[in-house]
Copies of this chain bind each other. A is one copy, B any other.
């Protein structure tokens, strides 16, 4: 109370520091000086004024006055551990994983643009979600559904191929992951893309056509797959305001499924899955800290993961729908769909999948055209 004045520079003090009543400025200055073992030299007569306004003019005299005022260098402790707090969290190694996924996503977005440019105009995108004001899209036809599924499958393969965790696997395991995850990955993609749509009974397919519940029911969606996608996936995603990073992480976690049918190297897949899981959890806790929504966000990663059971169930139903639709000749099932969605086994020389896996990415546009 009485001693509110810094004994070094007469600024307002913030208490005792290193043995002297001082301000935060002199406190910090003294610590930095001692820590870095600075040896300053006065360019004048060693008697410079050290006051609030002039204290930065001569470091030698300021340090000297710190000592005179009673600051002890042995009160300076060793460096401590970092205390990750304020805004910009330091970029860590784990960021790399996320960055890699975002890069893979971007790549696929670009590929997609080049592939579907023949169909009308491209929808405006925002972080992989179509923009909320994009409503002039045309409604999807049965043909659009087939085409968009095919497109998503092709992009799905390219996406996977761009991930090192995937390409290190044996080709048989690569095929197993692709087959086991295709349907769910498609549903996840469609759901995320549809987050920003204004109409809450509609989803946006991969070729930017819109499919409403009602429409879907007229073209064979007897089990209400579209309805389920909206109520069980899109709406929860909306409510929790899911972002791109969370989407790509969830996608990777879903994809690297160590218990998928026919997998051999479970360990590598599991390792990859858990690495992505850790990234997601890190990112979620970081986000929670930033927004200070402590209680609400502390289990955000859990909430995200809890989208997956529904997703899995819906994907399975979708597969059954496609099987049924084919049975009734409603939909054109190409060989990629047969292999990835319907899990039909083909003689290996005719497998489109195997061809895709071993071909470089540049050929994919051609491949799409061949298929059509």
Contacts and interface: CB of A to CB of B under 8 A. Distances in A.
A56 B40 contact: no
A303 B298 CA distance: 16
A351 interface: no
A81 interface: yes
A110 to B, nearest CB: 30
Interface in A69-93: 77-82
Contacts of A253: 306
A121 interface: no
Contact of A298 (B54, B56, B278, B298): B278
Interface in A295-314: 298-299, 301-303, 305-306, 308-313
A232 interface: yes
B259 A274 contact: no
Which of A39, A253, A285, A308: most chain B Cβ within 10 A?
A308
A142 interface: no
Interface in A4-58: 39-40, 43, 53-54, 56-58
A236 interface: yes
A59 interface: yes
A311 B309 contact: yes
A277 B259 contact: no
A258 B302 CA distance: 14
Contacts of A80: 56-57
A277 B312 CA distance: 20
Contacts of A301: 302
A58 B78 contact: no
B53 A78 contact: yes
- Residue among A40, A59, A254, A302 with most chain B CB within 10 A: A302
A354 interface: no
Contacts of A316: 313, 316-317
Contacts of A148: none
Contacts of A251: none
A273 interface: yes
21 contacts: A40-B81, A43-B82, A56-B77, A57-B79, A231-B259, A235-B259, A236-B258, A253-B306, A257-B309, A277-B302, A278-B299, A281-B302, A302-B302, A305-B306, A306-B308, A308-B308, A309-B311, A310-B312, A312-B313, A316-B316, A316-B317
